[in-house]
A and B are shown apart, each in its own frame.
Chain A
Amino acid sequence: MKYVMEILPSLFSGAGMTLQIFFETLIFSLPLGILVSFGLSSRFAPLKWLLNFYVWLMRGTPLLLQLIFVFYGLPIVGLTFPRYMAALAAFVLNYTAYFAEIFRGGNQAIDRGQFEAAKVLQLTYGQTLRKIVIPQVIKIVLPSIGNEVINLVKDSSLVYVIGLGDLLRAGNLATARDVTLVPLVLVALIYLLLIGLCTLLLRQLEKHYSYYR
């Protein structure tokens, strides 16, 4: 128990880094995902191709490779990012692609009649998206987004490869130093706790949107 209390502070500070990556990735990639999803179904073909290529690239290569590429690869051609910036950029780029695909599916599920009704009511395209389409899309995509959000909590452990001190790294260091399983078990418990919280929050959100069908 005494040992647990000794290593908890370093684990918590690692968890802080994990949470920072988690929240900042979500803050940027969710709105960007919505924007890209509209671009993916745009009638302007070059934009559509470009974004499709981007999504293919991001989903077609490992996130771990993308992290390494941004932090260790780009400096070779003269583009150097600070550690945290590199990690955040890679995560945002990667998750935006997944979110965009999820939102695109949601957009397609909206009946064309909704757009037509809005049009004859003289709403602008922007008003139609904001008041009618996006609220309905959010309800549809919430379960899939939840899945990705939970993945993100765990994926954030990949930053460890570029030397950021996240939760997994803190646990791994303690295990290597003290030759005991306890830190890794604690790390697992903290991840479980975080994901449990996420699950609860997502359930609440789904409940909030259950006022209509």
Chain B
Amino acid sequence: MLEVKKLAKSFGNRQILQNMNFSLKDGEILTVVGPSGAGKTTLLRIVAGLERADAGSMNLDGEEYDLSQEERGAVGVVFQDFNLFPNMSVLENITLAPQLALKEDKEAAEAKAKELLAKLQMADKGGLYPYQLSGGQKQRVAIARALAMQPKMLCYDEPTSALDPALRDQVADLILSLKESGLTQLIITHDMDFAKKVADQVLEVKPLEG
């Protein structure tokens, strides 16, 4: 269960988000749509802890977070351009954080990573480096990397924008299959068809006047 209350954010004297409230049940998908400049990405960055809000609170699975601080705990992010670590193989990209932050031992982390890769039809790609992957493959590595940290929620920033239009349906299927496994997901997109296809709930963000 995700509940965001009274979220507000401004840059300088430009108010971007104001008194924003929404909630999302476990295992559901929320898509956030709206024109560029409306604050969709800012919303994601605040929920993920990459940006401090001016005010607001977030409750994730009973855990209360002050959105004007940066501490968020278990929120995973799939970035628009994926931000894989180029100096590490696919497997190292996935196992790095579980080993360092969750103190998993190497064998356990690798076993779990291989399981995730198999689930994402990437079983044979563990030894490759990011530059050797296509856009769609990079995205699946980014998803596996986020999932390896056992997030309570996974956020996507424009998951279809860096991909071939033909891959759009594949991404939709992938997101829906993750939903079946009970993952709560928040998706920023400007692609309305895509948003409607995967969403349980659509949140429209409009640019504020003035």
Contact = CB atoms under 8 A, between A and B. Distances in A.
A117 B129 contact: no
Majority-rule SS of A interface residues: helix
B131 interface: yes
Contacts of B146: 120-121
A121 B97 contact: yes
A83 interface: no
Query: Which of B49, B85, B96 has the largest count of A CB atoms less than 10 A from its CB?
Result: B85
B26 interface: no
Interface in B68-86: 75-77, 79, 81, 83-86
Contact of A122 (B50, B101, B130): B101
A200 interface: no
Interface string B15-43: 00000000000000000000000000000
Interface residues of A, number: 21
A123 B101 contact: yes
Contact of B131 (A118, A127, A212): A212
Contacts of B97: 118, 121-123
A211 interface: yes
Nearest to B48: A120
Contacts of A139: 87
A120 B75 contact: yes
Query: Which of B48, B50, B87, B146 has the largest count of A CB atoms less than 10 A from its CB?
Result: B87
Contact of B87 (A113, A116, A124, A135): A135
Contact of A131 (B81, B86, B96, B131): B96
B149 interface: yes
B166 interface: no
Interface of B: 48-50, 75-77, 79, 81, 83-87, 96-97, 100-101, 129-131, 145-146, 149
16 contacts: A113-B83, A114-B83, A114-B85, A116-B50, A116-B79, A116-B83, A117-B84, A119-B50, A120-B50, A120-B146, A121-B96, A121-B97, A121-B146, A123-B97, A136-B86, A212-B86
Interface of A: 111, 113-114, 116-124, 127, 131-132, 135-136, 139, 211-213
Given A120-B146, A124-B100, 6 more contacts: A116-B83, A117-B79, A120-B75, A120-B76, A122-B97, A123-B96
